[in-house]
Amino acid sequence: MTPTWVRTELMSRITHGHRETDPASAGRDSERGLAEMTPTWVRTELMSRIADGHRETDPASAGRDSDLGKISELEGESRPKVLLVEDDGVIAHMYELGLALNGYPVRLASSGEMALSETSEDSPPDVIVLDLDLPAMSGLQMLDELRHRPATIHVPVIVLSNSDVDFSEAYRRGATQCHPKYQTTPQVLVDYIQGAVHGPA
C-alpha cells in the first residue's frame, strides 16, 4: 500500500544515517517529520489499520498487506511492550508503525536519558530496541545502566547500528542481539523481537 518512493526514502535514512546539517533547515525537518514525505492518504490508512485492527477480506488484494507486515492477533496472547530508543524521528516512526501493525505496544525515547526514565516506571518494557548512536549518553553507556538496574537487568536489549564496530563491546555489556540497522526492516525487527523474547522458533 505504501508507495515505493516512501519506503525507499525511509530505508535510505537508515542506510546512510541521514542527518540534516543546515541548522535552519534541521528545525524545519524536525517539525515536518514524516508529514511532508508521506502522502496524507497513506498516513490515514496506516493509522486507521492500527486503530481499527483492519483485515482485508478481498483475497485478490490480501497480498498487498504483506508490505505492511504480518498483522496477527492470537487470541489470549499479549504482545511484549517495546521501548524503542532512536533519535532519528523518521526512522523511529517507521519502526513504530511496523511494530504497532503487528500488535506491539511501543514507547519511544529519543535519548538514553529519556529511555532510562521510561524504564524506571512501574511498568518496565519487556524488550528494548536500542540505537547505539545517541546524543549525550551513548547506547553503550545506556547498556551499562540497564544491566545495573534491577528492573532491567534481565530485559532483552536488541542493538541496532549502521556500523558493527561496537557490536562486540555491546555484547560484552549485556546486549541480547546486535544487528545492522540498514538491513533491519520493520518486519525483520518484529522477528528479532520474537526471537529475543520467546527464543528461536
Rounded CA-CA distance 127/125 in Å is: 5
121-135 pLDDT, tens digit per residue, is 677 899 999 999 998
What the block records as the C-alpha cell of 189 is: 525487527
Tell me, what's the pLDDT at 201? 57
Query: What domains, with CATH codes, occur in the chain?
Result: 79-198 (3.40.50.2300)
Q: Which ranges of 20-175 would DSSP assign to H, the alpha helix?
A: 23-32, 40-52, 59-62, 89-101, 112-119, 139-147, 167-172
Question: Does residue 153 or residue 6 have the better pLDDT?
Answer: 153
Rounded CA-CA distance 167/16 in Å is: 18
pLDDT at residue 46 is higher than 60:
no
pTM exceeds 0.75:
no
